[in-house]
Structure 1
Amino acid sequence: MPHMLLALLCLFFIAPDVVRSATSGRIEGVVHQEGKAIANHRIMLIRFGPGQEVNRTPGETDAEGGFAFEGLETGDDFTYFVGIRYEGKLFRSESLQLSDNETKQDVVIKVGSAGTPALVPGAQLAQINIPHHIIVIVLREGRLDVREIVNIQNSGSVPYQGEAQRKYVLHLPLPKGYDNLRDIQGIAPEHIRSDPFGLYLTQPLAPGTHRLVYTYALPMDDRVRTLLLRRSLPTRMIDVFTDAKSLVATSDFQFLGEVPIQSHTFLHFRGTNPEPGARNWVQITLSGTSTSSALQVVSYALIVAIALMGLAIPLYNQWRHRAGLNTDPAPGTEQIQAWQSERSQLLLAIAQLDNAQAAGALDDIVYRQRRQSCKQQLRRVAEELHRANQPLDTPSLVQELR
């Protein structure tokens, strides 16, 4: 699978060899105005490269308005436009991409009265999205090394310039506390700036798909680190791989199991179509060491001790009761009188409830609930008096407790 190969590259943090593009592409076409050729006129081929650098190649139409550019670089990393400035107005072709040995024929540029919008009018944000985002996390020298591979797609026909009031084109958030940002690939470093909140692309993004790769470090001040995965663009899929040997990971993304890559094993989490602006999370814990093993032993010992105490205390209380060793102080005269007064009030309350129910003044459900509550309180008072060796000398009390 393609993303597995990328994850393997991320594991060793080796920059892939630069693949030189073929220069076998060709673009042919014609410029005319209402069917009449625009002959012997200066034109310009504009190329956006993989680092978003812009290259311009001048040309000229022939006597029939035709033009041709050859020896062009091919592949998804290169996007071309053919433009002409005529009578003070700019006209251009649609965006063009070339495969190896491909010739784009019949490219037509129509010169009219309205002109063509400039090449950087700024596409709408909805045209910018991330089809696939890969995050690979490994442990190195007590710190987390994180490599991200972000595929950014401009599905429009013109370069995306971002919102006019901002000084950047795109913002890619990074986790709080990151440092040692390095190994930026896919976009020229001079077109990238960073701050504590993430990366910022400052160059207009040409139509097509662009792969941005970068690496950074995260400190492990504690044994647990939570990464909040924030997104500023619509994203179709996020794959997170964590080294299963040195790290234990959990996430609110779906867990897809372990993935073997050569001699290494990764835990694989995946999120699909997460909401823009939402923040998912991955929690990283260092794998067990002698310290964690000791903590586990202590924890288990505490659990066993608590369980044994839970069994021992009731048995000890029973033994004390049978042996007559209860050392609780005997209740005083005032306490006994208070219990007796409470008993009389509860008996009176029960009698009043019975009378109200017989007269139809109380609903049956309310009557039963209130009477049951009084009986429970009366039983508690009777038990206290029994412990104090006070006789249950009230016939109504004995009857109510049955």
Structure 2
Amino acid sequence: MKKSIPIYLLFFLLIIQTSLTAQKGEIWGNIYSGSEDSSLVRNVEVQLLVYLGHNLVDDSSYVKKTNSRGKYRLTNLPVDSSLIYYPRVTFNDIVYYGNGVRISLHQLKQQSDLVVFDNTSDKKDIFVPMEHLFLSHENNVLTLKEIFLINNRGKKTYMGQKTEDENVHYVLEFPLPAGYENLKILTPDAKNSSTVKNGTLYDTALFSPGSKQYSYQFQIPYKGNEYQYTRQIIYPTGGVNVFIENPQLTIQGPGVKPMGDFNIKGKTYQHYSLKHLMPGMQLELTLTNLPGKTIGFNFDIKWIVLLVVVGFLIVGFGYTFLKK
């Protein structure tokens, strides 16, 4: 009898393993229209992307259309907590993703809803509640860092304007000043969706309702002790904060108001503010007291010295000639 115990135990474990292996997972959810007050979207295809870490391992095995109530349900999914499932929907030629979910023995069913939108090329709902502009300088070069908080206050995905490439749109635009150098995109997600054409920086990522941040920096060489920064306002802007690192610099411009010192991460900046800028206006900032090389003064001194030397030579030769 004692010898049969291991056999029963082995048989019991085999039954458990078979039962676990037979279990399958399920992902379900609803597709809502964000443009029509969260009404459910029928008969749209939902596709599961399966990731192992950062690697896409399957993008075609699990596909299902929503039913008449806007619900999808994908079953018979592998139970493996190392896999992440992302539902994807293409709606009006734009791809939308739901939240990634994992299936485990403790949670065989998961829900992931998606919200889709209609499209528009009208930028009337694009608004910049706040912009931050940081100015610093070194070796006759200004470094300007622009940080924009941008809202799409509408109920449609903003597509901007089409380009020569049908699959690319100029969505958000940011004019660059003449003479800019060393442009760097600071927003990680925007590095692959940014391009420059005819002196304007474009973000080509389609902009669904909500908010996003876009930031970049560039440099401008300057001469003398003054520089004027001018840029056209493209979107209605609630306010612009200007932060200057050098306490010796001064800044002037239409609507610019000094706000005192401001501390950011242990650094003290001069803080200036502008309010309520509208499309078509110009952001005009004049920086003075820049520690530039006084090129004009050096130029004049050299010529003065040269003229004095030449004058002495002429007088000397003239005197010698007359004496003869």
Bin of the TM-score, shorter chain as denominator length = 0.5 to 0.7
Where does 1:335-346 land on structure 2 (aligned, <5 Å)?
Answer: none
Where does 1:215-294 land on structure 2 (aligned, <5 Å)?
Answer: 215-245=217-247, 247-252=249-254, 253-287=256-290
Secondary structure at the aligned position of 1:159 is classed as strand
2:66 & 2:267 partners in 1: Cα distance?
A: 60
TM-score, with length taken from structure 1: 0.46
2:287 & 2:149 partners in 1: Cα distance?
A: 25
The aligned counterpart of 1:372 is none
Secondary structure at the aligned position of 1:194 is classed as strand
Q: Rg larger in 1 or in 2?
A: 1
The aligned counterpart of 1:188 is 190
Secondary structure at the aligned position of 1:281 is classed as strand
1:185 & 1:42 partners in 2: Cα distance?
A: 32
Change (3 A) 1:290 1:271: closer
Secondary structure at the aligned position of 1:221 is classed as coil
The aligned counterpart of 1:127 is 125
Deviation track 1:246-280 (CA, whole Å, cap 9, x = no partner) reads 53322332211111335532111112221211013
Secondary structure at the aligned position of 1:239 is classed as strand
Tell whether 2:30 aligns with 1:29: yes
1:245 & 1:236 partners in 2: Cα distance?
A: 26
2:162 & 2:67 partners in 1: Cα distance?
A: 42
The aligned counterpart of 2:56 is none
Unaligned segments of structure 1, at least 5 residues:
1-25, 32-36, 47-55, 74-79, 85-89, 109-117, 295-402
The aligned counterpart of 1:364 is none
Question: Matched residue pairs, number?
Answer: 231
Contact 2:185 2:191 in 1 (8 A): no
Deviation track 1:297-343 (CA, whole Å, cap 9, x = no partner) reads xxxxxxxxxxxxxxxxxxxxxxxxxxxxxxxxxxxxxxxxxxxxxxx
Aligned-pair distance for 1:227?
Answer: 0.7
Where does 1:65-214 land on structure 2 (aligned, <5 Å)?
Answer: 66-67=71-72, 82=89, 121-163=119-161, 168-195=170-197, 197-214=199-216
Aligned-pair distance for 1:284?
Answer: 1.2
Aligned-pair distance for 1:82?
Answer: 4.4
Aligned-pair distance for 1:169?
Answer: 2.4
Q: Percent identity?
A: 19
Deviation track 1:118-148 (CA, whole Å, cap 9, x = no partner) reads 9673242111121211110011232111111
Letter of the 1:29 partner, please give it: N
Contact 1:123 1:156 in 2 (8 A): no
Secondary structure at the aligned position of 2:120 is classed as coil
Tell whether 2:64 aligns with 1:60: yes
Aligned-pair distance for 1:196?
Answer: 5.5
Change (3 A) 1:103 1:155: farther
**Whose relative contact order is higher, 1 or 2, with alpha carbons under 8 Å and at least 6 apart?**
2
Change (3 A) 1:61 1:212: same
**RMSD of the alignment, in Å?**
4.6
Unaligned segments of structure 2, at least 5 residues:
1-26, 33-40, 50-58, 75-82, 103-109, 298-324
More strand by share: 2
1:203 & 1:38 partners in 2: Cα distance?
A: 26
Structure 1 stretches of 4+ with a deviation exceeding 4 A read 61-65, 68-73, 80-84, 90-93, 95-105, 164-167, 287-291
The aligned counterpart of 1:342 is none
More helix by share: 1
1:289 & 1:162 partners in 2: Cα distance?
A: 41
2:197 & 2:152 partners in 1: Cα distance?
A: 24
Contact 1:151 1:211 in 2 (8 A): yes
2:93 & 2:185 partners in 1: Cα distance?
A: 39
